[in-house]
Amino acid sequence: MSKKTYRVRNWKDYNRSLVQRGSLTLWVSEDALQNWHVHDNPRQRGRPQEYSDQAILCALSLKAVYHLTFRGVQGFLGSLLEILKTNLKAPNYTLMCKRQKHLRVDLPKGLRNGEGLHIVIDSTGLKVFGEGEWKVRQHGYVTKRLWRKLHLAINSKTKMIEASELTELKVQDCKGFSCLLDAIEDPIEVAIGDGAYDRFSCYEVIERRGGFGIFPPQHNAVTSDERRINKKKASAGAVTKRDEAIKGIRSLGRKDWKHQIGYHRRSLAETGMFRVKTILGRRLSSHNLENQVVESRIWCSVLNTMTLQGMPETVAI
């Protein structure tokens, strides 16, 4: 069967949203300028804060959108405030780096209709530092290469990132799955992941949230009745759900089972990963894990802000 082609139905609105993504007024809002400084510092030891968290977040968002360094952000934001003829000053680049570690970043949310969320989950690697790809190809593995793993939970209907988690590379996807679901407060109806999430622990986590998990078992998977020894200690509901998936694949075939159960919506997670790496980059600029977690969180916040401006509506032709 030939691959389907799609056409964008709302190209005029989507084109306007693409233009709006580059607008400075989108990233430096009037609300941020009004709350640029801290006016009510709590009584505590040390020098009181001069710039609010909103000002630091505004600066770091500009850094992510326009791919600037910390010094570049200071110069860019300082010149922008001069053009606006305000009495505000840009925070120092060292201050932005220090404040980033303790910054709280809330992901923008779209409108809720009260229904349960349909989320798709996946993970990808982000490079931190190390030798280039050419040297690795020529001479093999380099010990100083460092990667982090970004876990994302994306709403399959709105394309919004509902939760994100940045971990070390050795952390398995099934462990990141529970962290993502714990970060989502709204009810979850369906969670879809690839074969890496085919674990009883993932079935148990989504079962406690009252939802349904879709995780394709591996090709040599057996049911609980066929497993005579070394039975896994899991809840009865998790064992039943996985047995149903295995039996469904055996009766329908893996391809038809995926089509019937709606597994192919998981490709939206890969699309979300592609958007992160294409728009914001493939490597983190921070050098410690705490700052890297906040940096990846800012990336997700920026991507959600772009999504709220408008997304394409496609139809198969």
pLDDT tens sequence across 29-85: 899 999 999 877 666 676 778 899 999 999 999 999 999 999 999 999 999 999 989
For the whole prediction, is pTM greater than 0.85?
Answer: yes
Q: In this predicted structure, what is the pLDDT of residue 232?
A: 62
pLDDT tens sequence across 84-129: 899 999 999 999 999 999 999 999 987 777 678 999 999 999 988 7
Write down the mean pLDDT value for the chain. 89
The mean pLDDT value for 233-254 works out to 90
Q: In this predicted structure, what is the pLDDT of residue 129?
A: 74
pLDDT tens sequence across 185-222: 999 999 999 999 999 999 999 999 999 999 999 888 88
The architecture of the domain spanning 118-271 is 2-Layer Sandwich (3.30)
Listed by start position, the domains of the chain span 18-104, 118-271
Q: Which residue has the tokens 């600066």?
A: 59
CA-based max dimension of the chain: 76
Q: How many CA atoms lie within 13 A of 147 on its CB side?
A: 13
- In angstroms, the Cα distances linking 309 to 31, 56, 185, 273, 281 are 18, 23, 24, 19, 20
Q: Which amino acid is at 243?
A: D
Complete DSSP assignment for 242-271: HHHHHHHHHHH-HHHHHHHHTGGGGHHHHH
